[in-house]
Structure 1
Amino acid sequence: MAPSAAAGPPSLARPSTSSSSHLRRAGSALQPVSVPRALVQGRRRLTGAVRAAPDAPPVVRAAVSAVTELLRALSPNKALRGAATQQQQGEEPDPDPTCGSVEDVLAVLRDDYRRAYFLTGDFTPGIYTEDCLFEDPTIKFRGLSRYSQNLGLLVPFFDSPSLELENIEKGSRAETKFVKATWKLRTYLRLPWRPLVAIGGSTTYDLDGDFKVTRHSESWDVSALQAIAQIFVSAPEEKLEGS
């Protein structure tokens, strides 16, 4: 899920690093996601602003703006940056990958999905151009640094997140090569009413001649308005396995 909307916490504690079974929900094939490796390895995690796509319906633009201001007000990023500084001591960031083929890019993206980069902010910036276009049904903007900033704003508000990669494959259209991934995302949000966001979708990564991603484009199995509406609805806790 591209960084477009999330929620604020009743507390400012970051998600637990535990991967214990209490995060595994009954009847779900999704796996719990651990705390962002970005906090340990110094990947790009900054505080930024989320903006709605210019062509989005007025109600969507208004909702994105309202939720963004809420996140900015409640953001625990100062605390997270302090934790990151402490954990980065003695750690070296991963080097940028050298991709010489679509298969190389696909392998990097598969690894980013393994780390659930939508939900952890732990992605590989070296495979993107600096002016890469990022878009989903609610937002559209250019700039790798801005994408990193938006993820840095949203990630702290995800609670018990999970991301299932259903399929990832390479393809081509006209003279453009691309990688397409299909996924399911599920996460509670750290608001007092603890809403649940559950979205299925796909992301297409268009590549240039140097095998860099020039466009990161998402589509969802729900409308933009339906996705945003989930944020304002309280979701009951699912029963734990064996209970």
Structure 2
Amino acid sequence: MIKKWYEMAKICCFNRASPAPPPLQFHSQVLKIAVSGVTELLRFFSLSQQTSILSGDIEKQNNEFTVSSVDDVLIIIKSDYDNAYFVTGNFTSSIYAEDCVFQDPTIKFSGRELYARNLKLLVPFFDRASIRLLKIEKDVESDTNFLRASWKLRTNLKLPWRPLIAIDGSTSYELDDDFKIIRHVESWNVSALEAVLQIFTFKFEKSGG
């Protein structure tokens, strides 16, 4: 883990010492190292929390809801935002297809159970977390059933240096003919690299005098 942090710092701070690679290649390299570093960092600090996090809560999210329209799904998603599902892990999993694709600027995977587990593993690291829904609406111009939500996320992380994560973003929800969500795609107002590097931002208190 220390080696990966060193590699990331070296790329970010000392890339002037040698010719810089093409921008896309450079950003991809730094992002890969940063995401790997974050993964190891969270794993290191999670210790034995994982067993208790994964038990119980996922099961109770699987309650079936009768959904017969896009409006029904919109109401349920809005309720999940009221429960701050991004930062609590409490979401209505039954409105998602089992193989739903989840994507944000840093990662892409499929499976609603994996998404639920990922949320539950992250929740213990959030401190004073909030996600505020700005608006949610149907995309009437799309040929497919689409919902789009705009939101503001703010949270500190329970790491020794208490970094602040601040992201304004939107989530697109694509529905199939049975009104199950098959794609959950986030867009952010910052790049993937900028978002990850927020975790490694240290703030120093100014001494009075």
CA RMSD in angstroms, aligned pairs only: 2.3
In structure 1, how many angstroms separate the alpha carbons of the residues matched to 2:113 and 2:51?
A: 21
In structure 2, how many angstroms separate the alpha carbons of the residues matched to 1:58 and 1:155?
A: 28
One of 144, 149, 154 as aligned partner of 2:112: 144
Does 2:43 correspond to 1:72? yes
Aligned-pair distance for 1:73? 2.1
Among the aligned pairs, what percent are the same residue?
53
In structure 2, how many angstroms separate the alpha carbons of the residues matched to 1:93 and 1:145?
A: 10
Aligned residues of 2:63 and 2:92 also touching (Cα < 8 A):
no
Aligned-pair distance for 1:173? 4.9
Uncovered stretches (5+) of structure 2, i.e. residues with no partner: 1-26
Q: What is the one-letter code of the residue matched to 1:77?
A: Q
Give 2:86's aligned residue: 118
Aligned residues of 1:128 and 1:144 also touching (Cα < 8 A):
yes
Q: Tell me which structure has the larger Cα radius of gyration.
A: 2
In structure 2, how many angstroms separate the alpha carbons of the residues matched to 1:173 and 1:141?
A: 27
Aligned residues of 2:157 and 2:164 also touching (Cα < 8 A):
yes
Q: What is the one-letter code of the residue matched to 2:35?
A: V
Does 2:137 correspond to 1:165? no
SS in 2 for 1:100: coil
Aligned residues of 1:170 and 1:179 also touching (Cα < 8 A):
yes
Q: Which has the higher helix share?
A: 2
Q: Which has the higher contact order (CA 8 A, sep 6+)?
A: 1
TM-score, scaled to structure 2: 0.78
Aligned residues of 2:106 and 2:192 also touching (Cα < 8 A):
yes
CA distance 1:81–1:223, shift in 2 (3 Å)? closer
Does 2:147 correspond to 1:175? no
SS in 1 for 2:139: strand
Aligned-pair distance for 1:210? 0.3
One of 80, 98, 108 as aligned partner of 1:130: 98
Does 2:192 correspond to 1:220? no
Q: What is the one-letter code of the residue matched to 1:128?
A: Y
TM-score, scaled to structure 1: 0.67
Uncovered stretches (5+) of structure 1, i.e. residues with no partner: 1-55, 238-243
Deviations 1:40-98 (A, max 9, x none): xxxxxxxxxxxxxxxx822112211111112122215247449x66xx8xxx7672211
Give 1:15's aligned residue: none
